[in-house]
Amino acid sequence: MNTLTREFCMTINGKPVLTEQTVPVINPANETVIAQAPKASRNDLNEAVKGARAAFSTWSMLSIAERAAKLEAFSDAILQHRDELANLFTAEMGRPINGGFGSYMEIDSACHWCKVIAKNRLPREIIEENDSHTIEKYYTPLGVAGLIVPWNFPVLLAMWKIAPALLAGNTIVVKPSPYTPLTTLRIGEIARDIFPAGVFNVVTGENELGQWMTEHPDINKISFTGSTATGKKVLQSASVNLKRVTLELGGNDAAIVLEDADVKEVVPKIFWAAFSNTAQICVASKRLYVHQKIYDEFLAEFIQYAKTIPIGDGMNPATLIGPVQNKMQYEKVKALIEDAKSTGTNIVCGGIVEDKPGYFIPITIVDNPPEDARVVTEEAFGPVLPVIKYSNYDEVITKANNTDYGLAGSVWGKDLNLARSIAERLETGTVWINEAHILLPNVPFGGHKQSGIGVENSSEGLKEYTNTKTIMIKKK
């Protein structure tokens, strides 16, 4: 796609806002600048927060049914621009426009999430009721929520935050990643026709904008998705005024293949568990443990399948895997591959990065590296996967848990009782058995250990945008 001709504006207090400074947005498939995104000043952020603060008193007093109706209208309005948004998404993110994790799926899933979340309710609960005393518990909105969204799922993960924050009665300031701001800016434009001024604000900029948000005294809640290192900084700066925080952070998810697994059946499923969205998924299978009895057969089948997958520009309908989204991540993944080569690790597929435009990295499979290899201990967040041999289940559980992360994992095999017993011992927030990446708006999602604080989705995720309030009445 060539440079986009339209102008992109922030949404502040219901109005379009341009800035003197801008940030270039690059198409990762060809490294061309396709647009300029506004670069918010501290004053721009202050105006967004001021507008959100002013709108809060009215928005929070609407009934939850009225707020839900606005969210449903918002979802319908986004779908009316589905083609435009999907093409814009692929241009800035690089993901193939079609396929299981394609751009259309991103837009459709975000709208589905919005409508399902809008049906949630947090009813008042009577804890005690008798002739002399009443105790009632209910939930109140926090105020202004700052929503910091990553570049790997910039629309869907934004909606994970937008829908519950607004439904609970908060007003919002959304900050997309500087790498993928365009689709969110366009959605902010759509929101202007749905929500009252100040309820829905979108500001764009670079890393300092996120820090300004986490430190801002009039933002009451931060929901952040990103790396664990940045999440720690968010938590530290949010402590200035004891902001409520939800942190969905990194992972180094283990997939465990049991000795009774049907190799031909599970290989395609595990491949996509690892490499969907060019492996730029926090819950991607990043370490693959295969029982020694089937290891050689599995590895050969896995390599053969990998070689059939077309990689290229996401605008090509035949493409199934696109480029890494940005140059910084591209260089990190290349460095990981070079480290594997320099330490003598056996790369059995890929590993050679061509010198051509675009942030393309081939599907790279590493055969049985040692447990202390960087390719095993670090979250690649790119198409590099270690396949590791193990001999017994106690051993593999210990290896899988030997990480600071605890986001998700998966177990693959026919013996469901065995698979369940292993799943229960994995120190992660989610474990899938014979499937992966099944995430639903009515199912809580969150990490253990250094993979996060709090949860998203379901009624539990909705509660993250509220305070619990108790009223006690001593009767006559």
Q: How many Cα atoms occupy the beta-carbon half-sphere of 157 within 13 Å?
A: 25
3-state secondary structure at position 220 = coil
Instruction: Give the pairing type, strands 253-257 and 171-175.
Output: unpaired
Beta strands in 66-220 (DSSP E): 125-129, 133-141, 144-148, 171-175, 200-202
Amino acid at 407: L
Instruction: Give the pairing type, strands 364-367 and 346-349.
Output: antiparallel
Positive or negative torsion for Cα 71, 76, 81, 86: positive
Distance CA 110, CA 154 (A): 10
Amino acid at 22: T
- Which residues contact residue 350 at a Cβ distance below 8 angstroms, ignoring those fewer than 6 apart? 306, 361, 362, 363, 364, 365, 383, 384
| CA 69 distance to own-chain centroid | 25
Catalytic residue among 9, 114, 282, 349: 282
Report H helices in 149-181. 156-167
User: Could you confirm whether 282 is annotated as catalytic?
Assistant: yes
Amino acid at 52: A
3-state secondary structure at position 193 = coil
Catalytic residue among 47, 92, 106, 248: 248
Q: Per-residue DSSP letters for 342-396?
A: HTT-EEEE------SSS-----EEEES--TTSHHHHS---SSEEEEEEES-HHHH
Amino acid at 362: P
Q: Read off φ and ψ for residue 430, nearest 5 degrees.
A: -135, 140
Strand ranges of the sheet holding 221-225, from the earlier edge strand across to the other edge = 15-17, 10-12, 200-202, 171-175, 144-148, 221-225, 244-248, 452-453
| CA 162 distance to own-chain centroid | 13
CA-to-CA dists, residue 307 to 97, 311, 321, angstroms: 21, 10, 12
Locus of tokens 């709208």: 111
Question: Which element (helix H / strand E) includes 286?
Answer: strand 285-291
How many CB atoms are located within 10 Å of the residue 449 CB? 17
Q: Which residues are catalytic?
A: 248, 282
